């Protein structure tokens, strides 16, 4: 099979290209794409549990824990034990985290537009719809 006819190859190639592009956009902030996703997810779900955050960001618990372990000392987030169950942690953005999330919103919108610049608006809408169905 020709690789250009293989959906798995095309998706993988596109994902790597997008990840490289987005990583470059984040360089000045000193954040990784995964850290960016978590901060943006927390902006919408601030105070959620680690389990909820993992589901939203589609990260396994080991990966999530490692990323959170780097965001805490960087001053972006804080962990708070649940009053009901001390084994459960709630993740909250700090004021620095809120500022970063706001910056990430506009940066990500611009990065999306630039990455998809070769597509028409209709193609972009169609691509997003198709990817959402997979």
Residue-by-residue pLDDT tens, the chain, 134 positions = 888 889 999 999 999 999 999 999 999 999 999 999 999 999 999 999 999 999 999 999 999 999 999 999 999 999 998 888 878 899 999 999 999 999 999 999 999 999 999 999 999 999 999 999 99
- Residue 108 confidence (pLDDT): 96
Residue-wise pLDDT for 66-96, tens only, equals: 999 999 999 999 999 888 887 889 999 999 9
CA–CA gap between residue 68 and residue 74 (Å, rounded)? 10
What is the per-residue DSSP string for 35-58?
HHHHHHHHHHSTT-BHHHHHHHHT
Q: Read off the tokens for 57.
A: 């960001």
Q: What is the maximum span of the chain, computed from C-alpha positions, in angstroms? A: 57
CATH number of the domain enclosing 50: 1.10.10.10
For the chain, the domain total comes to: 1
Can you give the residue range of the structural domain that contains 70?
3-133
- Residue 62 confidence (pLDDT): 94
CA–CA gap between residue 38 and residue 56 (Å, rounded)? 9
Instruction: Answer whether 57's CB lies under 8 Å from 38's CB.
Output: yes
- Residue 5 confidence (pLDDT): 87
Q: How far is CA 28 from CA 10, 82, 108, in A?
A: 29, 35, 13
């Amino acid at each position: 099979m020709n690789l250009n006819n293989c959906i798995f190859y095309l998706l993988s190639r596109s994902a790597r290209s997008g990840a490289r592009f987005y990583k470059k956009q984040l360089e000045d902030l000193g954040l990784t794409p995964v850290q960016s996703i978590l901060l943006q997810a927390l902006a919408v779900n601030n105070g959620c549990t680690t389990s909820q955050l993992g589901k939203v960001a589609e990260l396994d618990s080991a990966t999530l824990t490692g990323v959170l372990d780097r965001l805490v000392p960087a001053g972006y987030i804080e962990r708070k034990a649940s009053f009901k169950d001390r084994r459960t942690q709630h993740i909250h953005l700090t004021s620095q985290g809120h500022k970063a999330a706001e910056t990430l919103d506009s940066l990500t919108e611009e990065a999306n537009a630039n990455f998809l610049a070769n597509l028409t608006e209709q193609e972009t809408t169609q691509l997003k719809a198709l990817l959402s169905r997979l």
